[in-house]
């Protein structure tokens, strides 16, 4: 390491130029290279006397040396001017951290300043080149290194970090065209990065540009009439409001009078939220490519197990303030009723906003949103072992005990050599937000426990993400998705609702539940009821029962309060899903209960008809010609039939026989309504 040049090199005089260092001293700063380190050696360090045909060649050489060392350079100052006198005679190249931070303008300056700290710290590493004069006083054609110092007052970066410096990040013309094409197709920036990594066959994170560079490129290619689009968006919302006074929207504008944030919802969505707003997915993993805005979609699950739309938001910035605004607006839309549980992606800013705005709501991380990143996080590291690791992760995810989960996690880390992996560390640190053993007892409506529900919810959200180039078109598309009546799906759902469900056991409890619960909810309870036959119960003391599987050790503790007809199980399935578990159902059967206590047939899973107007947005409405009163009367008769039939085996046999005959006749009738 050579001694540094005097600080005067990096300081400007009154004319705004740097003071020149003493040339005699500089000529001795760096000795000529040893034999073998010639001028064409790309791995050699610069040295005094080294020659270059052009000043650009000298810059490229020094830049390559800087990158290998762990820093970048910039052009600092020049002496002379092309075409005047001897022309350009000296150039100074310095470390990117040379000098001090530029002074910020005084308060009241018209241009707002970003809250960004400077990386400059007065580093004195530099290289200076110059041209000598020939005998006639004219400049020589070659440039020579006249001074060089590689003394830094800051840590140098490793190769994995130095490539992220702005000087070394670039987007080629081909990559630029590819990015813009993907953006027009509605692909998110994260997806673009992964696609281009796969296309170039490089490991994740090794592209010559970052997500920020891609976002800046897309931002620079916005449509020219952005302000007009914002006006169109507001006009569209106002038009909806004129047609439907119950339509709701809120927005904010920035200092340039452009739409900064906007959120909206529909009357049906607000009414549905009253019944099914207990567990809500808030997906913020997508962006509207046309304006590079964060797209947030609130989705719920109805009593028929189908996802439906609650509200939508577009945010200019992805920070705590923006997310906080979105959550407050959502509460305003839903009459200040907070959900019991909100499911989101991993996002620190969103997590902080939820803690502040929804203090009484349980925050849960969606497994399917987390798992979508696993291939890029672990695929390259684990290689052929990735699939086995994923199976082990899923096994741990579904464990019953938090202690067993923690022990199993440590074994998994050891087995697959994931010590020090940042993603693994982050997942374990936040396990109380996503791992099932830590979430038992919090109601999620099956959004995290049922793969089919998770898949259908994710597919529902994808409907909002088709390619759009204008914001107004996107709003129109959302309106179409929310209001469009899918006749085929409607008939299918209507047929499912009005047909009888085949019973799999002789338990009166099954018939009672079938008359009250929707087919979706009943199928979940029926699975538990069938499985309960494989268990035995033991009355321990007081109101406590131990329920054990006939082939497994251990069991679950079930508490039964006969006076108030309250039952609870340590597995907490009912608290999590609203469906009684096999352990509780076994105890009720052993206690000769023919019906499930009303408390354990929640309204959100019953045959209640939510006030909706479309099949995509929850349970299907009844077509014209089939009044809701007739359906309600039929349900009442079925309920009375089950109640009477469960009073004796003879009645049950007769009812079952007659219902099967009636069902056969009904199935012969047309399923369409006129």
Report DSSP letters for 405-433, one per residue: HHHHHHHHHHHHT-TT-HHHHHHHHTGGG
pLDDT at 23 over 60: no
In sequence order, what E strands does 227-306 have?
248-253, 259-265, 279-288, 293-301
Q: Which two tokens stand for residue 362?
A: 């349980």
pLDDT at 88 over 60: yes
Q: Which two tokens stand for residue 545?
A: 């029962």
pLDDT, one tens digit per residue, over 177-193 is 888 888 766 677 888 88
**Bridge partners, residue 265, by sequence:** 248
Instruction: Supply the pTM of this predicted model.
Output: 0.59
Tell me how far apart the alpha carbons of residues 32 and 46 are, in angstroms, rounded to a whole number: 9
pLDDT, one tens digit per residue, over 28-52 is 344 444 433 344 455 688 999 999 9
Tell me how far apart the alpha carbons of residues 536 and 546 are, in angstroms, rounded to a whole number: 8
DSSP state of 626: S
Which percentage of the chain shows pLDDT scores above 90?
Answer: 39
**Is 183 exposed, middle or buried, given 0-12, 13-18 or 19+ CB atoms closer than 10 A?**
buried
pLDDT at 70 over 50: yes
Residue 123 binned pLDDT confidence (cut-offs 50, 70, 90) = very high
Question: How high is the mean pLDDT of the chain?
Answer: 79
The secondary element (H helix, E strand) that includes residue 195 is helix 189-200
Residue 289 binned pLDDT confidence (cut-offs 50, 70, 90) = low
Do 539 and 590 contact (CB within 8 A), yes or no? no
Residue 17 binned pLDDT confidence (cut-offs 50, 70, 90) = very low
Average of per-residue pLDDT across 442-451: 84
Residue 374 binned pLDDT confidence (cut-offs 50, 70, 90) = very high
Question: What's the confidence (pLDDT) of residue 482?
Answer: 64
Residue 218 binned pLDDT confidence (cut-offs 50, 70, 90) = confident
Question: What's the confidence (pLDDT) of residue 6?
Answer: 39
Q: Highest-confidence range of 586-595, 613-622, 644-653, by mean pLDDT?
A: 586-595
- Name the percent of the chain in helix, strand, coil, to the closest 5: 45, 15, 40
Angle of the 189-200 helix axis to the 173-184 helix axis, nearest 10 = 130
- Residue entry with tokens 């056969």: 664
The full length of the chain comes to 674
Alpha helices in 249-366 (DSSP H): 267-276, 320-333, 348-357
Residue 367 binned pLDDT confidence (cut-offs 50, 70, 90) = confident
Using alpha carbons, select from 273, 260, 270 the residue that is nearest to residue 302. Answer: 273
Tell me how far apart the alpha carbons of residues 124 and 102 are, in angstroms, rounded to a whole number: 17
Q: Which two tokens stand for residue 74?
A: 């910039």
Question: What's the confidence (pLDDT) of residue 7?
Answer: 39
Residue 483 binned pLDDT confidence (cut-offs 50, 70, 90) = low
Do 574 and 600 contact (CB within 8 A), yes or no? yes
Residue 266 binned pLDDT confidence (cut-offs 50, 70, 90) = confident
Query: 2 vs 655, which has greater pLDDT?
Result: 655
Do 25 and 34 contact (CB within 8 A), yes or no? no
Tell me how far apart the alpha carbons of residues 60 and 2 are, in angstroms, rounded to a whole number: 21
Number of CB atoms found within 10 A of residue 656's CB: 14
Residue 276 binned pLDDT confidence (cut-offs 50, 70, 90) = very high
pLDDT at 13 over 60: no
Do 174 and 192 contact (CB within 8 A), yes or no? no
Do 621 and 306 contact (CB within 8 A), yes or no? no
Question: What's the confidence (pLDDT) of residue 642?
Answer: 75
Question: What's the confidence (pLDDT) of residue 319?
Answer: 93
Question: What's the confidence (pLDDT) of residue 138?
Answer: 62
Residue 201 binned pLDDT confidence (cut-offs 50, 70, 90) = confident
* 3-class secondary-structure state, position 313: strand
């Amino acid at each position: 390491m050579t001694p540094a040049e005097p600080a005067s090199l990096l300081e400007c005089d009154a004319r705004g130029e740097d003071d020149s260092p003493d040339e005699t001293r500089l000529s001795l700063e760096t000795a000529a290279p040893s034999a073998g380190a010639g001028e064409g050696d790309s791995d050699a360090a610069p040295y005094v006397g080294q020659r270059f045909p052009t000043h650009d060649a000298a810059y490229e050489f020094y830049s390559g040396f800087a990158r290998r060392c762990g820093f970048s350079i910039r052009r600092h100052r020049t002496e002379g001017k092309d075409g005047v006198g001897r022309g350009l005679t000296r150039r100074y190249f310095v470390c990117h951290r040379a000098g001090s931070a530029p002074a910020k303008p005084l308060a009241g300056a018209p241009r707002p300043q970003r809250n960004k700290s400077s990386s400059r710290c007065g580093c004195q590493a530099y290289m200076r080149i110059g041209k000598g004069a020939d005998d006639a006083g004219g400049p020589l054609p070659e440039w020579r290194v006249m001074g060089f110092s590689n003394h830094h007052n800051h840590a140098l970066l490793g190769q994995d970090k130095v490539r992220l410096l702005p000087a070394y990040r670039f987007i080629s013309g081909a990559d630029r065209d590819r990015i813009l094409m993907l953006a027009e197709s509605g692909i998110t920036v994260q997806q673009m990065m992964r696609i281009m990594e796969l296309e170039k066959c490089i490991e994740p994170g090794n592209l010559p540009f970052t997500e920020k560079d891609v976002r800046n490129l897309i931002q620079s290619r916005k449509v020219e009439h952005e302000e007009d689009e914002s006006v169109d968006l507001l006009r569209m919302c106002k038009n909806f409001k004129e047609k439907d006074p119950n339509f709701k929207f809120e927005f904010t504008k920035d200092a340039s009078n452009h739409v900064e944030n906007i959120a909206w919802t529909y009357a049906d969505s607000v009414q549905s939220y009253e019944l099914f707003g207990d567990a809500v997915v808030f997906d913020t993993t997508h962006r509207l490519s046309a304006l590079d805005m964060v797209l947030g979609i609130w989705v719920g699950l109805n009593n028929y197990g189908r996802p439906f739309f609650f509200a939508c938001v577009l945010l200019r910035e992805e920070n705590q303030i923006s997310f906080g605004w979105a959550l407050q607006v959502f509460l305003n839309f839903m009459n200040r009723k907070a959900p019991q549980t909100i499911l989101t992606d991993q996002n620190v800013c969103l997590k902080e906003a939820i803690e502040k705005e929804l203090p009484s709501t349980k925050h849960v991380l969606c497994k399917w949103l987390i798992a979508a990143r696993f291939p890029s996080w672990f695929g390259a590291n684990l290689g052929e072992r990735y699939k086995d690791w994923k199976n082990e992760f899923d096994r741990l995810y579904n464990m019953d005990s938090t202690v067993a989960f923690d022990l199993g996690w440590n074994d998994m880390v050891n087995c697959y050599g994931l010590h020090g992996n940042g993603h693994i560390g982050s997942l374990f640190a936040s396990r109380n937000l996503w791992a099932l053993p830590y979430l038992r007892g919090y109601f999620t409506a099956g959004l995290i426990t049922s793969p089919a529900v998770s898949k259908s919810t994710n597919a529902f959200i994808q409907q909002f993400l088709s390619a759009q180039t204008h914001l107004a078109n996107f709003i129109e598309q959302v309106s179409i998705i929310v209001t469009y009546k899918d006749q085929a799906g409607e008939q299918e759902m209507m047929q499912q609702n009005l047909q009888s469900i085949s019973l799999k056991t002789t338990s009166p409890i099954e018939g009672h539940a079938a008359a009250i619960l929707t087919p979706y909810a009943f199928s979940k309870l029926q699975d538990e009821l069938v499985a309960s036959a494989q268990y035995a119960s033991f009355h321990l003391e007081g109101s406590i029962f131990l329920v054990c599987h006939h082939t497994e050790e251990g069991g679950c503790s079930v508490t039964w309060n006969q006076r108030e007809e309250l039952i609870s199980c340590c597995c907490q399935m009912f608290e999590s899903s609203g469906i009684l578990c096999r352990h509780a159902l076994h105890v009720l059967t052993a206690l000769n209960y023919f019906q499930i206590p009303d408390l354990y047939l929640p309204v959100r899973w019953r045959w209640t008809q939510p006030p909706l107007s479309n099949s995509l947005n929850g349970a299907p409405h009844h077509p014209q010609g089939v009044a809701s009163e007739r359906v309600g009367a039929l349900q009442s008769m079925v309920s009375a039939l089950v109640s009477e039939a469960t009073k004796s085996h003879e009645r049950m046999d007769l009812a079952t026989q007659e219902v099967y005959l009636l069902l056969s006749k009904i199935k012969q009738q047309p399923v369409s309504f006129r």
